[in-house]
Amino acid sequence: MLPAHDGSTASMSGAAIRNFLKSKGADVSATSVSRMKQKIDDKIHGDLVEIPKLLERRTDRQAAADMCEFTPLLEGAYSVLFKGPVAIPGYVHPDRVVDLPALECTCGNWQDQMFPCVHAICAASKDGRRIEDLHDAKGMSIEHFRDTYTFKFLPWPTTATLQRDDTILPPQLEPTPERIGKEG
């Protein structure tokens, strides 16, 4: 049984966890304790740990979403007006249409980056939706990254020779016919 805490490992220092485990006869390293704290937080909050760059992007966009006004349209679609500063004033139209069920925004960033844009985060927060539901949180988590890349793989052997495949040929170029004036 771990020491009591208030639903977060913030009140439970790494030293407290380590001392508790030491009292039970287990000597663990500081990195193991930090991993334990992270796992406990994950279980308490139920969220997946996102890749740090995505977490930073999400935090920035949540702050920017407070500078938005939104108008509900039809069935999960919203008109979102960004009132914050823009990089080049006058060149970007600040009014966007966000379709939450279709995971689309007229700015195109949501579709391009497969991560919600400022407009989508604003609409989702005003609609009461979780931001984690707007992208593939499991696919973009550290856990998924580890599962994908921690297996052993062998490079291509240097002694192997590749066979040339002549069955697929490039297409023949057909010259465009010449145009002979307007009347032709």
- Domain ranges in the chain? 9-45, 52-134
Q: Supply the Cα-derived Rg of the chain in whole angstroms.
A: 27
Residue ranges of the chain with per-residue pLDDT less than 70: 1-14, 38, 40-55, 58, 86-93, 183-184
- Half-sphere exposure (Cβ direction) of 75: Cα atoms closer than 13 Å: 2
Nearest to 120 by CA among 132, 139, 137: 132
Q: What's the confidence (pLDDT) of residue 53?
A: 67
Q: Determine the pLDDT at residue 20.
A: 78
Contacts of 101 (CB under 8 A, 6+ apart): 75, 76
Tell me the per-residue pLDDT of 57-75, one tens digit each, with 9 for 90 and over: 767 777 777 777 888 888 8
DSSP 156: P
Query: What are the tokens at 2?
Result: 């771990």
